[in-house]
């Protein structure tokens, strides 16, 4: 069989994650279905407890409908809305910026550092110390641990504390990543995780969870996610409807204990790709010093991306682009959202060059070898 007749290795394969643990997931689904209680019940409570404990001592987790809502609920819980500016990046899933506008706040997008694709901490500090004119006061910063690599959070947290600004971590791509030994999602005032099926911890449908060391904040957000009910049927404040259902919670409880091993497998696959790239024209992704990267994506850059992707595709290797157009250049946001004083040049350059290789724990050794052979062939 020659390469072109081999089955394509998809860049993402959420079905493989289900099949690998089908019996346990099916049993959990049957348990949830049989319980007769489908929204905000025992499974959801148990998942919140287990997720909080997995993050670390003193962390409180609140389930919700998706990762976008997790960010928006945190902002609501901190009373950040109209009349507030929230700083984030343009090199992210559009959801990060959408969540800021959902609550009526004003996004301000700063650039990334090109070697790690994460928020430029120096630019953030400059913007906090000397905010661009014409914007409401900056109340929060949302750095994104993009691709599973922790941001340079220490200077960000210090600057936020100096300026009285909340630090909210977008951990949608980084469940289990560590920075100087500390789990991401435990360093800011609060953190948001997507549980979309392809994320490192994924439901089999939509889901989200947020976390905070602040018990009172967690309690308030838990009320806001259900119409602002502090007691049943009585809204003590204005809320929304953003709940994690029992089916998804039951599935997530099967998957949470598998997450650390899944992340370890991702790192193993990444190390194999690194080795295959050594000495060739493509630089392996740089890891920031002191981090444990969880490789939600394994991202390379090519100044002739279409040709590189086509060459891999010809060998049955799927690739993706995360993300092809920065948020500030997308139709819904273009010429409207505020950028930091330095602009978003590195963001725009990255969007034109990045592409992602197949990356999920269920990749077989045979599939990894085929990707590695494909990468080596690019060197010639």
Ligand X SMILES: *Cc1c(COP(=O)(O)O)cnc(C)c1O
Could you list the active site residues? Answer: 199
CB of 186 to ligand X, least distance (A): 18
Q: What DSSP character marks residue 93?
A: -
Using the minimum distance from each CB to ligand X, give the nearer residue, 118 or 226: 118
Q: Does position 194 bind ligand X by CB under 6 A?
A: yes
CA distance 121 to 179: 15
Per the CB < 8 A criterion, the answer to whether 39 and 167 are in contact is no
Q: How many residues bind ligand X (CB under 6 A)?
A: 14
Using the minimum distance from each CB to ligand X, give the nearer residue, 74 or 217: 74
Range in contact with ligand X (rule: CB under 6 A) among 35-43, 63-71, 261-269, 297-305: 63-71
From the list 17, 25, 55, 66, which residue makes contact with ligand X (rule: CB under 6 A)?
Answer: 66
One-character DSSP codes across 196-249: -TTSSS--SS--EEEEES-HHHHHHHHHHTBTTEEETTEESS---B---BHHHH
Q: Does position 201 bind ligand X by CB under 6 A?
A: no
Structure tokens at 281: 């024209």
With 0-12 / 13-18 / 19 or more C-beta atoms within 10 angstroms meaning exposed / middle / buried, residue 2 is exposed
Binding mask 204-223 for ligand X (x = CB under 6 A): ----x---------------
Give Cα 307 to chain centroid, integer Å: 28
Range in contact with ligand X (rule: CB under 6 A) among 3-11, 66-74, 106-114, 157-165: 66-74
Using the minimum distance from each CB to ligand X, give the nearer residue, 96 or 263: 96
Give the Å distances, CA to CA, from 354 to 1, 148, 307, 313, 330: 31, 15, 13, 16, 17
Per the CB < 8 A criterion, the answer to whether 203 and 65 are in contact is no
CB of 199 to ligand X, least distance (A): 6
CB of 67 to ligand X, least distance (A): 3
CB of 149 to ligand X, least distance (A): 12
Structure tokens at 110: 């700063």
Binding mask 144-183 for ligand X (x = CB under 6 A): x-------------------------x-xx----------
Q: What part of residues 74-113 is at the interface with ligand X (CB under 6 A)? A: 92-93, 95-96
Structure tokens at 368: 């990894």
Q: Does position 196 bind ligand X by CB under 6 A?
A: yes
CB of 250 to ligand X, least distance (A): 18
**Under DSSP, is residue 13 helix (H, G, I), strand (E, B) or coil?**
coil
Q: Does position 68 bind ligand X by CB under 6 A?
A: yes
Using the minimum distance from each CB to ligand X, give the nearer residue, 69 or 367: 69
Using the minimum distance from each CB to ligand X, give the nearer residue, 119 or 277: 119
Plot region of 68 (φ>0 → left; ψ -120 to 50 → alpha; else → beta)? alpha
Q: What part of residues 27-56 is at the interface with ligand X (CB under 6 A)? A: none
Q: Does position 242 bind ligand X by CB under 6 A?
A: no
Query: Which residue of the chain is nearest ligand X when measured via CB?
Result: 67
From the list 44, 52, 63, 67, which residue makes contact with ligand X (rule: CB under 6 A)?
Answer: 67
CA distance 108 to 86: 6
CB of 351 to ligand X, least distance (A): 14
Partnered with residue 86 across adjacent β-strands are 107, 140
Residue length of the chain: 380
Using the minimum distance from each CB to ligand X, give the nearer residue, 172 or 177: 172
Structure tokens at 18: 């289900």
Strands (E), the chain: 60-64, 85-89, 106-110, 138-141, 166-170, 178-179, 182-183, 190-194, 208-212, 229-231, 234-235, 291-292, 298-301, 338-339, 354-357
Give the interface with ligand X as residue ranges (CB under 6 A). Answer: 66-68, 92-93, 95-96, 144, 170, 172-173, 194, 196, 208
């Amino acid at each position: 069989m020659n390469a072109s007749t081999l089955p394509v290795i998809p860049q993402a394969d959420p079905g493989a994650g289900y099949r690998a643990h089908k019996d346990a997931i099916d049993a959990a689904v049957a348990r949830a279905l049989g319980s007769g209680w489908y929204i905000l019940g025992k499974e959801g409570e148990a998942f919140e407890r287990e997720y909080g404990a997995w993050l670390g001592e003193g962390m409180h987790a609140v389930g919700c409908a998706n990762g976008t809502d997790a960010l928006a609920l945190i902002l609501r819980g901190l009373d950040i809305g109209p009349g507030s500016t929230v700083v984030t990046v343009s090199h992210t899933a559009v959801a990060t910026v959408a969540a800021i506008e959902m609550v009526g706040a004003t996004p301000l997008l700063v650039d990334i550092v090109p070697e790690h694709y994460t928020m430029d901490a120096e630019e953030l500090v400059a913007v906090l110390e000397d905010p661009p004119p014409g914007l409401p006061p900056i109340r929060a910063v949302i750095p994104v641990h993009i691709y599973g690599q922790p941001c340079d959070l220490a200077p960000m947290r210090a600057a936020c504390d100096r300026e009285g600004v909340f630090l909210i971590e977008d951990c949608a791509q980084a469940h289990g990543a560590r920075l100087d030994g500390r789990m991401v999602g435990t360093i800011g005032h609060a953190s948001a995780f997507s549980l979309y099926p392809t994320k490192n911890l994924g439901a089999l449908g939509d889901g989200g969870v947020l976390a905070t060391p602040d018990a009172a904040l967690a309690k308030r957000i838990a009320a806001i996610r259900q119409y602002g009910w502090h007691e049943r049927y009585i809204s003590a404040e204005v809320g929304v409807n953003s709940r994690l259902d029992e089916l998804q919670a039951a599935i997530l409880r099967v998957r949470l204990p598998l997450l650390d091993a899944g992340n370890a497998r991702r790192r193993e696959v990444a190390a194999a790709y690194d080795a295959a790239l050594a000495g060739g024209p493509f630089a392996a992704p740089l890891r920031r010093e002191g981090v444990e990267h969880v490789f939600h994506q394994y991202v390379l850059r090519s100044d002739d991306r279409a040709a590189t992707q086509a060459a891999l595709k010809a060998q049955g290797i799927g690739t993706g682009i995360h993300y092809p157009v920065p948020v500030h250049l997308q139709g819904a946001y273009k010429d409207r959202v505020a950028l930091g004083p330095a602009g978003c040049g590195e963001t725009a350059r990255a969007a034109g060059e990045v592409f992602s290789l197949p990356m999920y724990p269920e990749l077989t050794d045979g599939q990894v070898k085929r990707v590695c052979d494909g990468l080596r062939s690019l060197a010639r």
